Copies of this chain bind each other. A is one copy, B any other.
């Protein structure tokens, strides 16, 4: 109780990613929200923007260059679009802060990998802090816990990528599926697209509507193939489909791969449980489990359902997360806990809200 709290600045505080980390930090025993920064809505209090925070967090929102936002903090979250963190993380690091960035800016540890990613997105491939690449770590604790513990700069994974990587990692590590055969059929709730209104997320357009989008490529493939390739020890290619559903929170990714040899569901479950161990945020379940996105809503859990179609020789994994939690702010908090030597589930040990 008496120990010093981690002093935290949140940049991009008014988006769903910023709100998510604020909500979680308010319930964290060792954290103190010290400064909120956002380009829009600066000058208001955060509880003006999100009335449900009234009485819990009434801090002012500062513009990025406001004098009040220039102090030294222990940790800075960049819950910002691509190209903000790469411009501004350095000065935070130089002031002694650790940095967790939500965007693609620090999810790649080589310039080549970043250029490939930015090019696929049709964006400026010119990274503004190339020298920081290599000092950063990909923030998925289940795969990189030890490096994250030592890192000052962490790139928080994408939401789709999180569900795909966690769902296929043990299979790739054990080399039980063919490395070019993986298919990621991903369905996301609308909150994954952020807070800004757009025609396709206007209520009357989205109600009763599920659709696939950007079929010719999606940026998350880069992260997925890189991480799975590291585990496999060789090149991995995935076919990726992004789909949006008329729900708010939740990603359900159905993942397929061609089995190298005939295996039973139990064989695969054992491989998965050995990989993840007990007590973490990944729960490995048999094909009879009655789980869905509501099972993980508002939690940091990833539920992984294992199924084998021996008739066709396919492995099928259903990987379920809350896109705003394990897919974003929850994983960011988990990274914070690892970086600061705290119990990994500090501030995340809640069972969710149901129904």
User: What residues make up the interface of A, taking CB atoms closer than 8 Å to B?
Assistant: 16, 19, 23, 26-27, 50-57, 180, 183, 185, 187, 189-191, 195-199, 201-212, 215-216, 237-239, 241, 243, 245-250, 252, 254, 256, 283, 287-299, 305, 307, 309, 311-314, 316, 318, 349-355
Cα distance, A52 to B352, chains bound together (Å): 7
Cα distance, A288 to B216, chains bound together (Å): 8
Q: Within the complex, which residue of B27, B185, B249 is in contact with A208, where a contact is CB–CB below 8 Å?
A: B249
Cα distance, A2 to B245, chains bound together (Å): 47
Once the chains bind, are A351 and B53 in contact (CB under 8 Å)?
yes
Cα distance, A311 to B215, chains bound together (Å): 13
Count this chain's copies in the assembly: 4
Given contacts A52-B299, A353-B23, are A312 and B209 in contact (CB under 8 A)? no
Given contacts A26-B351, A351-B57, A355-B205, are A318 and B197 in contact (CB under 8 A)? no
Cα distance, A346 to B337, chains bound together (Å): 26
Once the chains bind, are A208 and B297 in contact (CB under 8 Å)?
yes
Closest chain-B Cβ to A47's Cβ sits at a distance in Å of: 9
Closest chain-B Cβ to A198's Cβ sits at a distance in Å of: 6
Q: Which residue of B lies closest to A16 (CB)?
A: B355
Once the chains bind, are B316 and A241 in contact (CB under 8 Å)?
yes
Cα distance, A313 to B179, chains bound together (Å): 13
Q: Which residue of B lies closest to A201 (CB)?
A: B203
Nearest 6 interchain pairs by C-beta: A211-B292, A209-B294, A197-B197, A56-B351, A204-B355, A215-B287
Once the chains bind, are A190 and B211 in contact (CB under 8 Å)?
no
Chain B residues, CB < 8 A from A53: 351
Q: Which residue of B lies closest to A352 (CB)?
A: B52
Once the chains bind, are B314 and A183 in contact (CB under 8 Å)?
yes
Once the chains bind, are B190 and A27 in contact (CB under 8 Å)?
no
Chain B residues, CB < 8 A from A294: 52, 205, 208-209
Chain B residues, CB < 8 A from A23: 351, 353-354
Once the chains bind, are A212 and B252 in contact (CB under 8 Å)?
yes
Most buried by B among A249, A309, A352: A309
Once the chains bind, are B350 and A291 in contact (CB under 8 Å)?
no
Chain B residues, CB < 8 A from A318: 212, 215
Chain B residues, CB < 8 A from A183: 183, 256, 314
Closest chain-B Cβ to A33's Cβ sits at a distance in Å of: 12
Chain B residues, CB < 8 A from A202: 195-198, 201-203
Cα distance, A349 to B206, chains bound together (Å): 25
Given contacts A190-B204, A202-B195, A307-B216, are A290 and B351 in contact (CB under 8 A)? no
